[in-house]
Amino acid sequence: MTRRIPLILVLVLGIFGAVAFMIPHPAVRGVDEVMRNDVIRIITAFSLVLGVGSIIRHHLIKVRRKAEHWPFSYVTLIALAVSAIIGLFGGIDPDSPGILFRAGGVGRFLSNFHMQTLYENIMVPLAATMFSLLAFFMASAAYRAFRARNFEATLLLIAAFILMLGAVPLGRMLIKPLPAFAEWILTVPNTAAKRGIMFGVGLGTIATSLKIILGIERGWLGGGGK
Amino acid sequence: MKFWEKLLSIDRRWIYVVIWVVVMIPLLMPFEIKPRAMPPVQMLFDYVDSMPEDKALVISIDYTPDTEPELHPMAISLLRHAFATKRKVGILAVATVMSVGLGESALRQVTEEFNSRATTREDSIIYGEDVVYWGWTTPFITVLLGMGERITNVFPVDYYGNRTDTLPIMRVLKNYDDMGIVVSIAGSSVPLSWVNYAHTQFGVHMGCGITAVSAADFYPYLNSGQFTGMLAGMKGAAEYEQLVSEKMVELGYDWSLPRKGTEAMSSQTAAHIAIMAFILIGNIAFFVTRRRKQ
Amino acid sequence: MNIANPLTVEGAWVWVAAVLTLAVFSFLYRENPFYRFAEHLFVGVANGYAITFYFHRVLVPYLIQPVGHGEKLWLIAIAMIGALYFTRFIPKISWLVRIPIAVVLGYSSGAYIPRAIDAQIIQQLRATIVTRASFANTGAGPGWQLGIWAVIIAVGVIATVAYFFFSAEQKGILKPVSRVGIVFIMVGFGASFGYTVMARISLFIGRLQFLLGDWLGLLN
């Protein structure tokens, strides 16, 4: 029962989701719109609980067990709580502040910590910088690991060199038709290869979706229960 | 022999130092570069430029802060293009809630650029009349399919909390039929979801701005016509910036606005040369040491 | 040098962003407490940001406000289904979390199938098939040239698919076709790698533009 009910739900809603695309009748379209606009939207909003709850639980366990680097878990928990309070009670639009920023002088001071300000000065720099580290790791990998050991690897590296040179103005200065040739590589052989791969991936994804609807693929149920 | 072995076992932090210096110096001492638009960029520019006047440009901010340096210049350029050519603009974020602040940042910057120089109402950008930022909602299937029917059902309030059915622009921007093109700027495969749902079911024209990592994977969709045009990575951003800059000068907006994509191209060139040098040196050292061992 | 003024609100925030940026970059030397602090701070603020928007832009306009005005009271039942996500943390009834997952997963999977078949299979097949129209003169170039490229694409697609065909042994006609396929695949991956280099470097350039421009005021 604990597995049968969810499997029946997936089957019914899966068939409805697929069939609604093909039936233009207003009644079907109306139900489809309600499903999307109200049902799926509200349920998806609650899914945040899983993510946030898991993070809080993970860090609380780290603190309790005094696991490695446990003091930093306080940073996450405090930052989460403070930013959530600022966002929930301070609002989203700086021009329409929430109750947190309307409390006289204290409110005016706190408005310097508006959600958009935190986003632009904490989240954006941190996320962008973390990903920019990849430039260095890639350079190190290029030096240590990219070897033209065989014909296929050599072909890959030659294509990469042509693209790298063709992507910058230097390529045009060295060999005038190089950017056009690089564009041709992307437009013809690359398109062919990626399309071939896409057919496989596309058919695989469609097959997996079908298997989920029909209850053949049950990994999403997780363990436990019959 | 020892030289090549030492070269192969060099501390990786020296490689990091080289990359840092090679990227930093051209930023401090840039050389003039005029990007030349490749066909996918030119196609997108031409389409946006020649859309019927009653059709809006819709920009979907589907990228997150980690890909901001590559993709934010695209959003800025598209907004400048639309505002300079007096197009109505709708902006939204579909992929993830982390994108929504970047849309507000781009809109604020470009609106300020135009309004600080405007002398008449015609030159000004009025929120709610010329542009609307719908913000974000979840899940994306609700947005992509719902916008084909009525946008105000999908976004009853905009990013700022205004009721969308009270905004004048929403009288002429009701659904996909009122859009000339939707340009999804993304660091992931979200533009493909736009193609799967919005283009397939409603036939709306699609363009995309994507990171260079994904660019090669999107060419089949460009080839099949499912994408009308494409901006690939910082290079694509720089090329579009150049086209928009020339168009703005043509229209009398000779403002010399900052162009982050173009400014980066000198460093990009130097870094590419460095990476190619690393690969060559690494391979030479590898083959020399391997031959000696044999 | 026109360094950001830390005594103004705007300048102080630029300094905060710059210090956090350098804290993350310090990882390049070796892992250290500053990097760890920045990493944990990001996770906390990102989640707080998500909570803000999920509440203000989804739950309030689509659930709390309609129900508060006495409209769409059936949404309460939907909210109760959504609330079943909380049972994930109660071991005895954690199986109930499968219900909201089933609703979203089922509908999304069903909606995906017909659209993906059209967009990813049929449209792409149509673009691969070589017809007389493939040799038509367009703005992209002379017709004969475009036709040859279309033939190469068709050959490449067939060869690539042949390479990934594992249901039969790769011998006979399949072997040389697969070899052609691997050539196309390697060129495609090389193209991806070349552009990946550009992507990664671009991200670093963006951060340096911030440090040297917005923070230190060294860029024009």
Question: Residue C91: is it exposed, middle or buried by C-beta count within 10 angstroms (0-12/13-18/19+)?
Answer: exposed
Question: Residue C32: is it exposed, middle or buried by C-beta count within 10 angstroms (0-12/13-18/19+)?
Answer: exposed
pLDDT at A61: 94
Angle in degrees, 0-180, between the axes of helices C174-209 and A178-187, rounded to the nearest 10: 120
Question: Residue B55 has what DSSP assignment?
Answer: P
Query: Which residues of chain C are within 8 Å of residue A135 when distances are taken between CB atoms?
Result: 200-201, 203-204
Q: What is the pLDDT of residues B12-65, one digit of tens each?
A: 899 999 999 999 999 999 888 888 999 999 999 999 999 998 999 999 999 999
Whether C4 shows a pLDDT value over 90: the answer reads no
pLDDT at C137: 79
- Cα B135 to Cα B132: distance, rounded to the nearest angstrom: 9
| HEC profile of B66-94 | HHHHHHHHHHHHHHHHHHHCCCCEEEEEC
Test B138 with C201 for CB contact under 8 angstroms.
no
Give the chains touching C; criterion: ≥3 Cβ pairs < 8 Å.
Answer: A, B
Question: Residue A207 has what DSSP assignment?
Answer: H
Return the amino acid letter for B79: L
- Cα B159 to Cα B144: distance, rounded to the nearest angstrom: 17
User: H or E stretch including A173?
Assistant: helix A169-174
Give the mean pLDDT of chain A.
90
Question: Residue B127 has what DSSP assignment?
Answer: B
- The closest alpha carbon to B17, from C190, A140, C211, C207, belongs to A140
Q: Which residues of A137-173 are buried (b: 16+ CB within 10 A; e: fewer)?
A: ebbbbbbbebebeeeebebbbebbbbbbbbbbbbbee
Instruction: Please state the rounded mean pLDDT for residues A7-21.
Output: 93
- Nearest CB neighbour to B39, from listed C116, C123, C140: C140
User: H or E stretch including B241?
Assistant: helix B233-250
pLDDT at A225: 52
Give the mean pLDDT of chain C.
91
pLDDT at A135: 93
Q: What is the pLDDT of residues B247-256, one digit of tens each?
A: 999 999 988 8
Give the mean pLDDT of chain B.
93
Whether C11 shows a pLDDT value over 90: the answer reads yes
Q: Which residues pair with B136 in a beta bridge?
A: B93
Return the amino acid letter for B39: P
What residues 50-79 of chain A have any CB closer than 8 A to a CB of chain C?
Answer: 50-53, 55, 57, 69, 72-73, 75-79
Question: Residue C121 has what DSSP assignment?
Answer: I
CA angle B71–A178–C129, rounded 5-degree value:
75
Q: What are the extents of the domains in chain A?
A: 4-122
What residues 102-131 of chain C have any CB closer than 8 A to a CB of chain A?
Answer: 102-117, 120-121, 124, 127-128
- Nearest CB neighbour to A186, from listed C79, C164, C191: C191
pLDDT at A11: 95
Q: What are the extents of the domains in chain C?
A: 130-220
Strand order in the sheet with B131-136: B131-136, B89-93, B56-62, B179-186, B206-210, B229-232
What residues 106-145 of chain B have any CB closer than 8 A to a CB of chain A?
Answer: 137-139, 141-142, 145
In this prediction, residue A105 has a pLDDT band, given cuts at 50, 70 and 90, of confident
Whether C46 shows a pLDDT value over 60: the answer reads yes
ipTM of the complex: 0.88
- Residue entry with tokens 């078949």: C117
pLDDT at B26: 93
Q: What is the pLDDT of residues C72-98, one digit of tens each?
A: 899 999 999 999 998 988 889 989 999
Q: Of the ranges B124-128, B130-134, C7-11, which one carries the lowest mean pLDDT score?
A: C7-11
Q: What is the pLDDT of residues A59-72, one digit of tens each?
A: 999 999 998 899 99
Length of chain C: 220
Domains for chain B: give ranges and CATH numbers: 2-28+274-293 (no CATH), 39-260 (3.40.50)
Residue C72: φ, ψ to 5°: 50, 50
Q: Which residues pair with B84 in a beta bridge?
A: none
In this prediction, residue A222 has a pLDDT band, given cuts at 50, 70 and 90, of confident
Counts for chain C of helices (H) and strands (E), in that order? 8, 0
